[in-house]
Chain A
């Protein structure tokens, strides 16, 4: 099967450039503003949208994305609403791949078969679930693949050559290379080591490799895009949302604009 993600990477290959993958949290700061933000992302230069599924205990995330999840939850975001957000997005965009990213518990509680069915129906293309390593593939990865939903695995600096085949075995869509040892949005990646690791991992997989965790500027994006097939930006966008809010956390007319402006800027880096 080819998925929206496969088609998008094929098109980018023809264009000869890397993908810009943008992350925001579903329902941050509230449902309507989040819909406005993601609806404008493709025009601003995003090639793939990662949508965070809010969770109270995001153990791999730094302060920016933790806060985004709590803002969304405080404003009533649920898994059902996250799937509805994708459905609403699909009313105006049939081509931009959407990947849901988060933690297993909200999916497990929703029920895996029902979740996969509803996610597929809403227009979700792939899943990144941080706390499901290949050792737990039977939980969600294999059912997702059977349901034609891509399961995108995280590879990290600790994924050595011995472990890489295990990590890539049931991965599809693309590989998300975590550029730093640590949580999202805290350390800046060491560009030399990222390039070396991307080259090393390419020996193990034919899938596109996107690089994220700590990418904040157009300059970093440009450098990473030289070797990788895509660049993921998350915490920087989420921080832009946070900065645009009123003191009581309400969205302003600047909120969506701030995100789109930053995405346009980083997109120029990826495309240059």
Chain B
């Protein structure tokens, strides 16, 4: 397929919420007036300097931004190629990049006068971030989480409860992240008047993919500034893990028009792409369809029924991907690759030992790609990996796989 690149990759979506053919507003009529109201409210907030000032202040004093851009010296030595930097978003309050978006959305919800916040969560990181911000502002918080994930991520469930959130198990379908999203949408339809739906990734109906991207773009903006200060030039490549794709979009978006920056998204290949169903690589192993309010690449069977993704990481096993990623893939601006459970686990262990950083299993996938490719790059190649979450939540999963009883 020949692709004519647009003048800019950063102007989307269009007025219909589309990135090329992806995105849109595929929701029930009950939600449509709300979606349009939210779109307008976000537009107004975006144009209001006091909104941005308030957000910046919370990001600095509550979240702890800017996060450092850290030169991973020992990993670099070990790999013997590219100079590897970590964007340390795992140092944020609550331990992941999720809080960047949540602060933005919760401030917007307050602006709109909404008092009840709902969210979906997979690994629990977005749920914890939402529960945290709701506690901070005294808002009622309900988090939908698949029954299977509740079992896998007990510490995060307890954290959310400590923070005053109600955690509701999603018992329908496959009882994981996609079902938590379904339940959150069902709640929203039933409580449209007072409820704000705080979506955790760059997916869902417009304006969510754009809004979440904007809130996460602080990652890429800081990276740009920090790299210029540190090395006097832009990085040569960016690497980030992708489930729904919010940490990746946050890092990538400010660089999309910097043509010399190579950009790579790493999907979860689970037990391997050849298994057909035991992975969560929507782009590499899926095709376009419509789910959860947007058109994007999905894992599904020939009849259009959604297939549950599999990954060692509960934060990556979503059967879809943000629509802007789908478009960037078609436009060939971003390269989408994958890493298996096994590769991610090896990267996880290596990072602990060489850098004294316990990464979450999600960025361990990005790290696996760094380990694969950095050795082939020249020593002056600057590679930035988004360390989007810390691994405290994953120690039980990892111990289990390594056969260690805690």
Question: What is the interface of chain A, defined by CB distance below 8 A to chain B?
Answer: 54-60, 62-63, 66, 70, 73, 78-79, 103-110, 130-136, 153-160, 163, 167, 178, 180-183, 186-187
Contacts and interface: CB of A to CB of B under 8 A. Distances in A.
B50 interface: no
A110 to B, nearest CB: 7
Given A57-B291, A131-B290, A79 B33 contact: no
A57 B169 CA distance: 16
Given A133-B32, A187-B190, 13 more contacts: A55-B305, A57-B182, A57-B291, A70-B173, A104-B290, A105-B290, A105-B304, A106-B304, A131-B26, A163-B33, A180-B190, A181-B193, A183-B186
B400 to A, nearest CB: 28
Given A59-B182, A109-B289, A158 B29 contact: yes
Contacts of B24: 135-136
Contacts of B16: 135
Contact of A56 (B27, B293, B305): B305
Interface string B20-60: 00001111111111100000000000000000000000000
B25 A135 contact: yes
Given A57-B178, A70-B173, A167 B29 contact: yes
B185 A59 contact: yes
B172 interface: yes
Contacts of B298: 105
B189 interface: yes
B192 interface: yes
Interface string B157-193: 0000000000000001100001100100110011111
B300 interface: yes
Contacts of A182: 186, 189-190
Contacts of B182: 57-59
Given A105-B289, A181-B189, A131 B28 contact: yes
A133 B29 contact: yes
Interface of B: 16, 24-34, 172-173, 178-179, 182, 185-186, 189-193, 289-293, 295, 298, 300, 302-306
- The 8 A-B pairs of least Cβ separation, nearest first, read A109-B304, A106-B304, A182-B190, A156-B30, A131-B26, A133-B32, A59-B185, A56-B306
Contacts, number: 118
A124 to B, nearest CB: 17
Contacts of B179: 57
A70 B178 CA distance: 15
Given A66-B173, A158-B192, A182-B189, A108 B304 contact: yes
A133 B16 CA distance: 12
A53 to B, nearest CB: 9
B304 A158 contact: no
Given A66-B172, A109-B289, A133-B28, A60 B189 contact: yes
B300 A109 contact: yes
A243 B285 CA distance: 39
Given A56-B173, A105-B290, A186-B190, A155 B29 contact: yes
B186 A60 contact: yes
Contacts of A79: 303-304
Contact of B303 (A106, A159, A181): A106
21 contacts: A57-B178, A57-B182, A60-B30, A60-B185, A62-B186, A108-B289, A109-B300, A109-B303, A131-B26, A133-B25, A136-B25, A156-B29, A158-B29, A158-B30, A159-B33, A178-B30, A181-B190, A181-B191, A182-B189, A183-B189, A186-B190
Contacts of B291: 57, 105
Contacts of A62: 186
A106 B301 CA distance: 10
Contacts of A186: 190
Nearest to A155: B29
A178 B193 CA distance: 16
Given A70-B173, A181-B191, A183-B189, A104 B26 contact: yes
